[in-house]
C-alpha cells in the first residue's frame, strides 16, 4: 500500500473511533495479550490505558516496557476503494508525566466514562505507550510502516 493521505486519514479514524485494542507484553520469554480500552493523546505519539498494578500485564511492563497494541479497524474505512485496516502500534510503555496526568486521566474518562469506578481504585494506574511506529495492514501483501513522525508530518 502506498503511503497516502487517504490511508493516514483512515488510521486517524480507526484510532479515534475504536476504543479497544489488544496489548501484547512479554516477560521471561512468555508472551501475554490483554484487551484494553485506550485513548490517543498527543496526536499519534501516545496511547494511554488503565490497569491494575496486580495484573500480569503490569508486572510484564515493569520487567519489559516494549509493547505492541493491535487495533482492529476492518469495520472502518470500507469505501469501495478501501478495505478496512488493522493497525499495530509499536512502542514503549511508561508512566505518564505528572504534569500531564490530570489531562490524560480526564481524556481517558471522557472517552471511556464506564471506567470511572475502575480508575478511582487506589490499585489502578494510567500508563502511556510512546509510539515509535505504526504497522498498517490492509491485506496479506498490503503492509506499510509509518513512523510517528511520518504520520505527524503527512498532510
The predicted model scores a pTM of: 0.87
**pLDDT (tens digit, 9 = 90+) per residue, 7-28?**
677 778 888 889 999 999 999 9
Phi and psi of 3, rounded to 5°?
A: -65, 120
pLDDT confidence of residue 78 = 54
Inter-residue contact 51 to 57 (CB < 8 Å): yes
pLDDT confidence of residue 27 = 94
Q: What is the mean pLDDT of residues 94-99?
A: 91
Q: How confident is the model at residue 147 (pLDDT cuts 50, 70, 90)?
A: confident
* pLDDT above 50 for 129: yes
Q: What is the mean pLDDT of residues 113-117?
A: 97
Mean pLDDT of the chain: 87
Cell 500531564 belongs to 100
Inter-residue contact 126 to 111 (CB < 8 Å): no
Tell me the C-alpha distance between 64 and 28, whole Å: 9
Tell me the C-alpha distance between 92 and 105, whole Å: 19
pLDDT confidence of residue 155 = 46
Residue 88 Cα distances to 43, 63, 77, 149, angstroms: 16, 21, 16, 16
A 10 A CB-CB count for 125 gives 17
SS3 per residue for 8-42: HHHHHHHHHHCCEEEEEEEECCEEEEEEEEEEEEC
Residue 4 Cα distances to 11, 91, 134, angstroms: 11, 23, 14
* pLDDT above 90 for 108: yes
Dihedral sign of CA atoms 58, 105, 131, 24 in order = positive
Instruction: Tally the domains of the chain.
Output: 1
pLDDT confidence of residue 15 = 87
Q: How confident is the model at residue 94 (pLDDT cuts 50, 70, 90)?
A: very high
* pLDDT above 70 for 118: yes
pLDDT confidence of residue 1 = 44
**pLDDT (tens digit, 9 = 90+) per residue, 58-76?**
999 999 999 999 999 877 7
Q: Residue 26 is part of which domain span?
A: 5-153
Q: Output the domain CATH number for residue 102.
A: 2.30.110.10
Amino acid at each position: 500500500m502506498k503511503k497516502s493521505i487517504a490511508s493516514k486519514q483512515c488510521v486517524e479514524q480507526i484510532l479515534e473511533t475504536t476504543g479497544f485494542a489488544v496489548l501484547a507484553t512479554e516477560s521471561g520469554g512468555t508472551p501475554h495479550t490483554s484487551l484494553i480500552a485506550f485513548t490517543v493523546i498527543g496526536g499519534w505519539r501516545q496511547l494511554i490505558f488503565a490497569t491494575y498494578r496486580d495484573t500480569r500485564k503490569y508486572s510484564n511492563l515493569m520487567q519489559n516496557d516494549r509493547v505492541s497494541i493491535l487495533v482492529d479497524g476492518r469495520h472502518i474505512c470500507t469505501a469501495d476503494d478501501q478495505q478496512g485496516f488493522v493497525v499495530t502500534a509499536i512502542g514503549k510503555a511508561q508512566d505518564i508525566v505528572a504534569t500531564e496526568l490530570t489531562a490524560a486521566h480526564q481524556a481517558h474518562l471522557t472517552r471511556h466514562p464506564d471506567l470511572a469506578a475502575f480508575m478511582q481504585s487506589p490499585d489502578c494506574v494510567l500508563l502511556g505507550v510512546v509510539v515509535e511506529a505504526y504497522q498498517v495492514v490492509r491485506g496479506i501483501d498490503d503492509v506499510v510502516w509509518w513512523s510517528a513522525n511520518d504520520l505527524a508530518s503527512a498532510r
